[in-house]
Amino acid sequence: MERDGSGQWRIVLNSASKLENASMLATNSKFHGLGFGRGSTVEHVPTPGAEAALRGLIDGIRNGAPNYDAMSPLLAQSIRQQLPQMQMWGQRLGKLVDIHYRETIIERHDVFEVQRENGAARWRICMAPDGTIASASGLLTSSGPAAGP
Protein backbone atom coordinates (compact mmCIF):
# COMPACT_ATOMS: atom_id res chain seq x y z
CA MET A 1 0.00 0.00 0.00
CA GLU A 2 1.41 3.37 -0.99
CA ARG A 3 1.04 6.25 1.42
CA ASP A 4 0.55 9.66 -0.20
CA GLY A 5 0.69 11.84 2.93
CA SER A 6 -1.35 12.89 5.93
CA GLY A 7 -4.14 15.25 6.74
CA GLN A 8 -6.22 16.91 9.42
CA TRP A 9 -9.78 15.66 9.90
CA ARG A 10 -12.56 17.53 11.66
CA ILE A 11 -15.78 15.74 12.51
CA VAL A 12 -18.68 17.51 14.21
CA LEU A 13 -21.47 15.52 15.85
CA ASN A 14 -24.82 17.01 16.77
CA SER A 15 -26.60 16.53 20.13
CA ALA A 16 -28.01 13.21 18.89
CA SER A 17 -24.46 11.99 18.15
CA LYS A 18 -25.10 12.03 14.42
CA LEU A 19 -22.67 13.39 11.89
CA GLU A 20 -23.37 17.06 11.27
CA ASN A 21 -20.22 18.08 9.41
CA ALA A 22 -16.93 16.56 8.28
CA SER A 23 -13.96 18.15 6.60
CA MET A 24 -10.39 17.16 5.74
CA LEU A 25 -7.27 19.13 4.90
CA ALA A 26 -4.14 17.59 3.37
CA THR A 27 -1.21 18.78 5.50
CA ASN A 28 1.81 16.73 4.49
CA SER A 29 1.55 15.41 0.97
CA LYS A 30 1.56 16.32 -2.69
CA PHE A 31 -1.99 17.58 -2.04
CA HIS A 32 -0.87 20.00 0.73
CA GLY A 33 -3.49 22.67 1.39
CA LEU A 34 -6.30 20.96 -0.51
CA GLY A 35 -9.44 20.26 1.45
CA PHE A 36 -13.04 19.25 1.18
CA GLY A 37 -16.13 19.65 3.30
CA ARG A 38 -17.67 22.66 4.94
CA GLY A 39 -15.13 24.66 6.91
CA SER A 40 -12.04 23.37 5.11
CA THR A 41 -11.01 26.73 3.66
CA VAL A 42 -7.29 27.28 4.07
CA GLU A 43 -5.56 30.61 4.26
CA HIS A 44 -1.90 30.67 3.38
CA VAL A 45 -1.02 33.52 5.71
CA PRO A 46 -0.98 33.53 9.50
CA THR A 47 -3.55 35.38 11.55
CA PRO A 48 -2.46 39.01 11.94
CA GLY A 49 -0.37 39.30 15.10
CA ALA A 50 0.13 35.54 15.53
CA GLU A 51 3.87 35.54 14.86
CA ALA A 52 4.52 38.50 17.17
CA ALA A 53 2.37 36.89 19.89
CA LEU A 54 4.26 33.62 19.53
CA ARG A 55 7.64 35.38 19.72
CA GLY A 56 6.48 37.16 22.88
CA LEU A 57 5.20 33.92 24.41
CA ILE A 58 8.45 32.05 23.70
CA ASP A 59 10.64 34.87 25.03
CA GLY A 60 8.40 35.35 28.07
CA ILE A 61 8.57 31.67 28.98
CA ARG A 62 12.35 31.54 28.45
CA ASN A 63 12.85 34.58 30.68
CA GLY A 64 10.36 33.37 33.32
CA ALA A 65 8.04 36.34 32.82
CA PRO A 66 5.23 35.47 30.37
CA ASN A 67 2.66 38.18 29.70
CA TYR A 68 -0.38 36.43 31.19
CA ASP A 69 -2.62 39.37 30.21
CA ALA A 70 -2.00 38.47 26.56
CA MET A 71 -3.43 34.95 27.06
CA SER A 72 -6.79 33.34 27.63
CA PRO A 73 -7.39 32.49 31.30
CA LEU A 74 -7.09 28.76 30.56
CA LEU A 75 -3.77 29.14 28.72
CA ALA A 76 -2.41 31.46 31.43
CA GLN A 77 -3.31 28.90 34.12
CA SER A 78 -1.61 26.12 32.15
CA ILE A 79 1.56 28.20 31.61
CA ARG A 80 1.68 29.14 35.32
CA GLN A 81 1.49 25.47 36.32
CA GLN A 82 4.18 24.38 33.87
CA LEU A 83 6.43 27.45 33.90
CA PRO A 84 9.42 25.94 35.75
CA GLN A 85 9.70 23.04 33.29
CA MET A 86 8.96 25.22 30.27
CA GLN A 87 11.50 27.81 31.39
CA MET A 88 14.18 25.11 31.85
CA TRP A 89 13.61 23.85 28.30
CA GLY A 90 13.47 27.40 26.97
CA GLN A 91 16.84 28.19 28.50
CA ARG A 92 18.38 24.93 27.26
CA LEU A 93 17.14 25.55 23.73
CA GLY A 94 18.54 29.09 23.78
CA LYS A 95 17.51 32.21 21.97
CA LEU A 96 15.10 32.29 19.09
CA VAL A 97 16.99 32.20 15.78
CA ASP A 98 14.22 31.99 13.19
CA ILE A 99 10.49 31.53 12.99
CA HIS A 100 8.75 30.41 9.83
CA TYR A 101 5.01 30.19 9.15
CA ARG A 102 4.10 26.75 7.85
CA GLU A 103 0.31 26.53 7.55
CA THR A 104 -3.07 27.17 9.11
CA ILE A 105 -4.95 24.04 10.04
CA ILE A 106 -8.69 23.53 10.15
CA GLU A 107 -9.07 24.48 13.80
CA ARG A 108 -7.74 27.95 12.89
CA HIS A 109 -4.38 27.31 14.52
CA ASP A 110 -1.39 28.85 12.79
CA VAL A 111 1.56 26.46 12.69
CA PHE A 112 5.10 27.82 12.90
CA GLU A 113 8.50 26.13 12.70
CA VAL A 114 10.68 27.71 15.38
CA GLN A 115 14.46 27.41 15.22
CA ARG A 116 16.38 28.06 18.43
CA GLU A 117 20.14 28.11 19.10
CA ASN A 118 20.10 24.50 20.33
CA GLY A 119 17.04 22.93 18.77
CA ALA A 120 13.76 23.37 16.97
CA ALA A 121 10.05 23.06 17.70
CA ARG A 122 6.73 23.19 15.91
CA TRP A 123 4.27 25.59 17.57
CA ARG A 124 0.53 25.97 17.05
CA ILE A 125 -1.07 29.21 18.11
CA CYS A 126 -4.69 30.32 17.92
CA MET A 127 -5.53 34.00 18.34
CA ALA A 128 -8.81 35.12 19.90
CA PRO A 129 -10.80 37.90 18.20
CA ASP A 130 -9.66 40.35 20.89
CA GLY A 131 -5.97 39.75 19.99
CA THR A 132 -5.10 37.56 22.97
CA ILE A 133 -3.66 34.06 22.59
CA ALA A 134 -6.58 31.63 22.91
CA SER A 135 -4.36 28.55 22.87
CA ALA A 136 -0.80 27.55 22.09
CA SER A 137 1.24 24.37 22.15
CA GLY A 138 4.75 23.42 21.16
CA LEU A 139 6.37 20.16 20.18
CA LEU A 140 10.14 19.73 20.29
CA THR A 141 11.29 18.46 16.88
CA SER A 142 15.06 18.47 17.43
CA SER A 143 17.55 19.36 20.11
CA GLY A 144 21.31 19.76 20.12
CA PRO A 145 23.82 18.61 22.75
CA ALA A 146 23.45 21.84 24.75
CA ALA A 147 19.71 21.22 25.10
CA GLY A 148 20.16 18.09 27.14
CA PRO A 149 18.16 14.85 26.81
Domains in the chain (CATH in brackets) are 7-36 (no CATH), 50-147 (3.10.450)
Q: Could you tell me if 9 and 1 are in contact, meaning their C-beta atoms sit under 8 angstroms apart?
A: no
Q: Could you list the pLDDT tens digit for every one of the 149 residues in the chain?
A: 445 666 666 666 667 777 665 655 555 544 444 444 444 444 468 899 999 999 999 999 999 999 999 999 999 999 999 999 999 998 899 999 999 999 888 667 899 999 999 999 999 999 999 999 999 999 998 876 655 44
Determine contact, residues 28/57, Cβ cutoff 8 Å.
no
pTM of the model: 0.69
